[in-house]
Chains A and B, each alone.
Chain A
Amino acid sequence: MMHFLAANMAPIMFASLVVFLLIGYPVAFSLGACGLFFGVVGVELGLMPQTLLQALPLRIFGIMQNDTLLAVPFFTLMGLILERSGMAEDLLDTIGQLFGPIRGGLAYAVILVGAMLAATTGVVAASVISMGLISLPIMLRYGYDRRVASGVIAASGTLAQIIPPSLVLIVLADQLGRSVGDLYRGAFLPGFALTGLYILYVLMVTMAQPSWAPALPKEARTIREDDGSPGLRSLGVVALLSVAAAVVFAKLRPAETPTDELIVISMSVGVGVAFALAVGNRLLKLHLLSRMAERVTFVLIPPLALIFLVLGTIFLGVATPTEGGAMGATGALVMALARRRLDFRLLKQALDTTMKISSFVLFILIGSTVFSLSFQAVDGPIWVEHLLTSLPGGQLGFLIVVNILIFLLAFFLDFFELSFIVIPLIAPVADKLGIDLVWFGVLLAVNMQTSFMHPPFGFALFYLRSVAPTEDYDDRITSRRIAKVTTGQIYWGAVPFVLIQILMVGLIIAFPKLVSTGAGGGPAVDVDKAFQQMQKDSAPRVEPPATFAPDGGASASPPPADPPADKAASDDEAMKRLLEATTPKKP
């Protein structure tokens, strides 16, 4: 009996963890209790050293000093203040007007605004609620298909999960032992590619079923010139001027400027030009710009300024992600104050929510630390490694199994739980298999994004349900009767987007270059270029030494059990990893 226990302690402990979690008591304490129970039993049975639990306070002190996770409250507060600042409403309103006249325009506007909110540390719940209350009624009013409308809104809200700066990437970076900046860089292109895929989906819908996403009728376009023209030409001129300014500026920079720096600074120059034009026009009363051009420029400035303040400074290396979060939160507070949207009660509420979120997140980490303390003592990680490395298909087999596992778990667990419970188990195995952990983290982040869209538990769907009309109502503008949105419609609307998400996971595995990893490779923002690049990459090639992502060609033919190219390349890298592993940096 003792022998059996001692030999199978790891699987027994893992099975108990599942039971402990399913009991339905808060995850943080279930994890901790499971670890504590086995720690005490293990020590009593002599399976673990007497001093096992002595390490616990030191591990928790390590969590308290964790500079990466300090960014969690900062970005949470930033998101909470921003969602009440009126920025989302203005954006949805104006961009909706801008794209409204084309078929599927409102859907495009929702996707683009979703991406932009995501880049200013969007919060999924807030994005979905804003879009559900502002854009959904307009879409329903003008006859959008309910499934398309609700699916687009729910999915665009979840972009906040993958487009930096997002909380999930911070937590993943911490658990993978990689820098947050690297994960942000890596997630950039997949985030934009996803946005592109959503747009593509809407485009396909408008071609296959034009009546599902009609253009706004004339009377619904409120931003117009006095003579009734939309005023797009002057907007085009402003856009052209700012792009030209950005390009000229970029060309003038010395050639050795790093790509990220070039992109960030040139974009700021372009935006600055547009802003100067709009302000000059208004101050000097020139009336050169149309209303649309002025509105679009002014409405885009706050989010772009915040994006620069946070992401710009992080990519330029001026600020750490934690500092970026603090500056972003301060910027959001200033903006909300300036717009008279921030009062004492709201501030208190935002601080209260931030505190509770920080506490529950960090306590899950404390719980999982207690668990892993005992789990390591019974050689649990080795057991998991044997389990996962014995899978057929090497790297690819591992990736497929892990992704299916995460996809299924995401039905029940949110990303905090996944990151703190599952990632510590699989990350070392991925590392052993020679998978780049930055790449792996971004891949998992895209996968985990589905946890917000899975019917019936997905949070985005839940929040959309809470604001979508549950009964037929009379529209105030058109005085027409509008039918309610059923829960089934919301669920079915999400399905195509879950499929897009799976497609994206497949694309990242097939074309590892989609995630820029390692030194030198800055974020390639230009999607067109990236797709050209992808095409080139899909041709057979030798893996460049610095990259650890699995070979793109591997998906076509069954991969060799042990890719020799990777093996050879990993020699240098192995030393570096060893050094990294021996430097103390995290619990």
Chain B
Amino acid sequence: MAPLLSLSRLIDRFTAWVGRWVAWLVLAAVLISAINAAVRKLFNTSSNAYLEIQWYLFAAVFLLAAGYTLMRQEHVKIDVVSGHLSKRTQIWIDIVGLVLFVLPLVYTVIRLSLPLAIRAYEMNEYSSNAGGLIRWPVFAILPLGFLLLGIQAVSELIKRVAFLRGLIPDPTQKAQAKSAEEELAEQLAKEVAEREKAALVGKP
């Protein structure tokens, strides 16, 4: 189990690294879209390349982040029933889900989409729009995204099994220190306290 656990740690580090970089594509997409909209209105020019790069980036964001989102346990679930089950049962559900749900889907999508990406690369396919972009990178994002998801699924599987054998603490505890909501609440609480203090000082 020990070598597997080191593999899992390695995968987690890799996925976190991917997530850190992919997040910046969100900003790139926002800025390109805003600038493109402004330029189009102001100077009445636009290019299909700018329109296409937006959805290239969008596709890259949600597909390449799939593994990261899985690791952070942000894919929503319905826990009306499972919320009442024991921790071990929940972990078993996760294992069933990873083996029977995630991995077959990953395999199917990669098997079906990889040939399309390879063909687009070999034929040097371009977008049919005037000034459009080369196609294979965006075709390749689909199998790549699912590959990252599959790799992370393996790591999650290792962690679940290790937990059942009592080797590691509960892996489903959210790893992040604080959620965005908690941070917002903290910042606001601090501000309110400051304001109240100021109000008290201001009083005669």
Residues of A within 8 A of B (CB): 21-30, 32-33, 36, 53-54, 56-57, 60-61, 64-67, 69-70, 73-74, 77, 80, 83-84, 89, 93, 125-126, 129-130, 133-134, 137, 222, 318-320, 322-323, 325-327, 329-330, 333, 347-364, 370, 412-414, 416-417, 463, 466-467, 476-477
Contact = CB atoms under 8 A, between A and B. Distances in A.
Given A25-B96, A69-B58, A359-B63, 10 more contacts: A23-B97, A27-B76, A29-B102, A56-B109, A61-B142, A73-B30, A326-B37, A351-B27, A359-B75, A363-B69
Contact of B108 (A53, A125, A347, A463): A53
A21 B78 contact: yes
A65 B55 contact: yes
B192 interface: yes
A33 B55 contact: no
A323 B185 contact: no
B188 A370 contact: no
B196 A477 contact: yes
A359 B101 contact: no
| Chain A, interface SS category | helix
A89 B142 contact: no
A278 B93 CA distance: 61
B37 to A, nearest CB: 4
A89 B180 contact: no
Q: Which of B58, B69, B77, B113 has the most CB of A within 10 A?
A: B58
A25 B94 contact: yes
Nearest to B41: A318
A327 B79 contact: no
B172 to A, nearest CB: 12
27 contacts: A21-B78, A22-B81, A23-B96, A24-B77, A24-B83, A56-B109, A57-B112, A57-B116, A61-B142, A64-B138, A73-B30, A74-B33, A80-B180, A125-B181, A130-B184, A323-B33, A325-B33, A333-B30, A350-B180, A355-B25, A358-B58, A359-B66, A359-B68, A361-B62, A363-B62, A466-B181, A467-B189
B30 A77 contact: yes
Contact of B184 (A84, A222, A476): A84
A206 to B, nearest CB: 26
Contact of A351 (B26, B59, B66, B183): B26
Contact of B187 (A61, A84, A347): A84
A57 B141 CA distance: 12
Nearest to A413: B78
A412 B76 CA distance: 12
A491 to B, nearest CB: 17
Nearest to B23: A351
A363 B75 contact: yes
A74 B34 CA distance: 10
Contacts of A361: 62
Given A36-B108, A57-B109, A360-B75, A355 B63 contact: no
Interface of B: 19, 22-27, 29-31, 33-34, 36-38, 41, 54-55, 58-59, 61-63, 65-66, 68-70, 72, 74-83, 85, 90, 93-94, 96-97, 100-102, 104-105, 108-109, 112-113, 116, 138-139, 141-142, 180-181, 183-185, 187-189, 191-193, 195-197, 199-200
Given A21-B78, A134-B188, A414-B76, A360 B69 contact: yes
Contact of A29 (B33, B75, B195): B75
A122 to B, nearest CB: 13
Nearest to A74: B30
A32 B33 contact: no
Contacts of B27: 77, 347, 351
A29 B76 CA distance: 10
A375 B101 CA distance: 17
A307 B10 CA distance: 46
B30 A32 contact: no
B76 A360 contact: yes
B30 A348 contact: no
Contact of B33 (A33, A54, A326, A363): A326
A505 B173 CA distance: 39
B181 A129 contact: yes
A350 B27 CA distance: 10
Contacts of B187: 84
A67 B53 CA distance: 12
Given A129-B181, A351-B23, A463-B181, A359 B69 contact: yes
B74 A359 contact: yes
Nearest to A86: B191
A325 B54 CA distance: 13
Contact of B90 (A24, A28, A84, A417): A24
Given A64-B63, A463-B181, A327 B38 contact: yes
B134 to A, nearest CB: 15
Nearest to B60: A64
Contact of B78 (A24, A61, A77): A24
B83 to A, nearest CB: 7
Contacts of A318: 41
A239 B17 CA distance: 53
A64 B58 contact: yes
Contact of A330 (B23, B30, B105, B109): B30
A36 B104 contact: yes
Given A29-B101, A80-B180, A359 B61 contact: yes
Contact of A130 (B96, B188, B196): B188
Contacts of A351: 23-24, 26-27
Contacts of A356: 65, 68-69, 72, 74
B36 to A, nearest CB: 8
A354 B192 contact: no
Given A60-B109, A64-B142, A354 B188 contact: no
A477 B76 contact: no
Contacts of A29: 75, 97, 101-102, 105
Given A24-B77, A25-B94, A70 B54 contact: yes
Contacts of B19: 352, 355
